[in-house]
Amino acid sequence: PPGAAAARANAETRIHARGVAARGGLLAAPEGRRVAAGPAGAPSRGRLDVRPTGRNLTAIDPRAIPTRTAAVVGVRAADEVIRRYLQDHGDYPRSLMLDLWASASLRTGGDDLAQALAYLGVRPRWDLNSNRVTGIDVLPLAMLDRPRIDATLRISGLFRDLFEAQIALFDLAVQKVAALDEDDADNPLAAARRRGESLARVFGGAPGSYGAVAADLALGMTWDTRSQLGDAYLDGSGYSFGGGHVGVSAAATFRDRVRSIDALVHPQDDRERDLLDGEEVADFAGGFAAAAASLGATPALLHLDTSRPDQPKARTFDEEIARVVRGRLTNPRWISGMLAHGYRGVAEIAQGIDALYAFAATSDSVPEHLFDLAHGALLRDEAVLDGMIARNPAAVAAILSRFEDALRRRLWVPRRNAVADELALAHARLVPTERLS
């Protein structure tokens, strides 16, 4: 096409300039010379201001979140979640809960917050010169072409600490939407206001606390029932933010919100990580599932992949966990790559099993055949088992412990009767190595 060669040459020039800047910064820093400051973020999410790289990174200007680009991506993401829920349930969701993490907001400029605003049917308003957010505009129902959706945020501890203005912005949006004179069927927030219910919609851990507690309890293996894990999530998340107050205990209100939620949405914006890379997703999403089950609710659990901003994809957690287990955790090529990384690579394998166990403990999103697949790929394959033992016997012991506990709690009922004997044999291969170490 006309201009393609010029555009390619321009892109190559910019890429070369980034390499020069990064090299210059790398050489200047050890010598104590000045490294120019610049914002952090992902260029793939419209953050062209982060170029050139190689600068002394600053976080972000919170007054500019969500950015204009993030607002566009947020609307697409909300539309995809609504489409998937309609496909599965035949009706619009009336209430959603969204996990909101600071790390994602720093990378994307606030995709997830923009998504939450889109559910309510509002959009940010920006100052023309500075691009800072100055307020919100409420969209009419005719423009939405759907009912408004009552959105609740479960924020991370870091989001609570960094984004006070965004919490206030979302609370303002909730109050404005609730004050509208619209039918109950079109505006569940207005219906809640007319019933005299609390309009608190931003919840998180107490000031100074981090995480949702559920996964830590599950991985500690001191729990007895899933309801204990749900109670841990509820106790660790029942603090309300916004409306002029910070971290007010609102345990009963949060329980009511969890009980009424139609679907949990957990967004993930980066391709480099997945939901088995650590226990954090199981902590938030799995903890929510356990809490909802303990309250007699069965909301949908949706994993929203926004790594391609132009094509967000919503999958159930069952689908996403199965996809990651088959594509990574039990993939011979991935396992071989991890073994090539030695001690750290085997630790990554153990981390994946930890996360799989945490999801199984907190939710029904891990069918038993996924444990069969993981066991077959990691422990029944003698070459893989010996390779892991040679590189990191402590991680292998942890993997065995997870499988044995999953068996004991009947989170995993294997198809083969020989599994218990095979785990014992794996222990026997491990013991001499443990003694040597």
In this prediction, what percent of the chain has a pLDDT beyond 70?
90
Residue type, 205: G
Who's near 414: CB < 8 A, 6+ residues apart? Answer: 368, 371, 372, 375, 407
Tell me whether strands 263-268 and 95-100 are parallel, antiparallel or unpaired.
parallel
Note the pLDDT of residue 435.
Answer: 46
Note the pLDDT of residue 94.
Answer: 97
- pLDDT tens column, 347-390: 999 999 999 999 999 999 999 999 999 999 999 999 999 999 99
Reduced 3-state DSSP string for 52-116: CCCCEEECCCHHHCCCHHHHHHHHHHHHHHHHHHHHHHCCCCCEEEEEECHHHHHHHCCHHHHHH
Note the pLDDT of residue 113.
Answer: 97
pLDDT level of residue 46 (50, 70, 90 thresholds): low
- CA-to-CA distance for 384 and 381, rounded, in angstroms? 5
Residue type, 425: L
- pLDDT tens column, 291-321: 999 999 999 999 999 999 999 999 999 999 9
Positions of E strands within 269-312 = 300-305
Answer whether residue 142 shows pLDDT above 80: yes
| Six-digit token string for 340 | 């090539």
- CA-to-CA distance for 385 and 393, rounded, in angstroms? 10
Answer whether residue 229 shows pLDDT above 70: yes
| Six-digit token string for 310 | 């132009």
Question: Using CA of residue 238, residue 239, residue 240, residue 242, what is the dihedral sign?
Answer: negative
- CA-to-CA distance for 241 and 325, rounded, in angstroms? 36
For residues 67 and 131, is the Cβ–Cβ distance under 8 A? yes
Answer whether residue 13 shows pLDDT above 80: no
Answer whether residue 43 shows pLDDT above 90: no
Note the pLDDT of residue 263.
Answer: 98
Note the pLDDT of residue 48.
Answer: 63
- CA-to-CA distance for 176 and 198, rounded, in angstroms? 14
Answer whether residue 333 shows pLDDT above 60: yes
pLDDT level of residue 91 (50, 70, 90 thresholds): very high
Q: Burial of 237 by CB count in 10 Å (0-12 exposed, 13-18 middle, 19+ buried)?
A: buried
Cβ count within 10 A of residue 43: 12
For residues 97 and 258, is the Cβ–Cβ distance under 8 A? yes
Q: Taking residues 167-194, what's their average pLDDT?
A: 96
Answer whether residue 437 shows pLDDT above 70: no
Answer whether residue 84 shows pLDDT above 90: yes
| Six-digit token string for 112 | 């997830």
Number of residues assigned to the chain:
437
Mean pLDDT of the chain: 90
- CA-to-CA distance for 155 and 103, rounded, in angstroms? 11
Note the pLDDT of residue 15.
Answer: 59
- What secondary structure does DSSP assign to 10-62, as a single string? HHHHHHHHHHHHHHHHHHHTTTT----EEE---GGGT-GGG-S-SSEEE---G
For residues 111 and 150, is the Cβ–Cβ distance under 8 A? no
Answer whether residue 155 shows pLDDT above 80: yes
- CA-to-CA distance for 322 and 68, rounded, in angstroms? 34
Note the pLDDT of residue 436.
Answer: 44
For residues 162 and 101, is the Cβ–Cβ distance under 8 A? no
> Considering only CA atoms, which of 185, 124, 122 is closest in space to residue 151?
122
What is residue 300's three-state secondary structure?
A: strand
Through-space distance between the first and last CA atoms of the chain, rounded to whole angstroms: 63
Claim: this prediction has a pTM higher than 0.95: no
Answer whether residue 243 shows pLDDT above 80: no
In this prediction, what percent of the chain has a pLDDT beyond 90?
73
Q: Taking residues 95-100, what's their average pLDDT?
A: 97
Answer whether residue 328 shows pLDDT above 60: yes
150, 214, 158, 133 alpha-carbon torsion, rounded to 10°: -10
- CA-to-CA distance for 357 and 363, rounded, in angstroms? 10
- What secondary structure does DSSP assign to 237-249, as a single string? H-EEEETTEEEEE
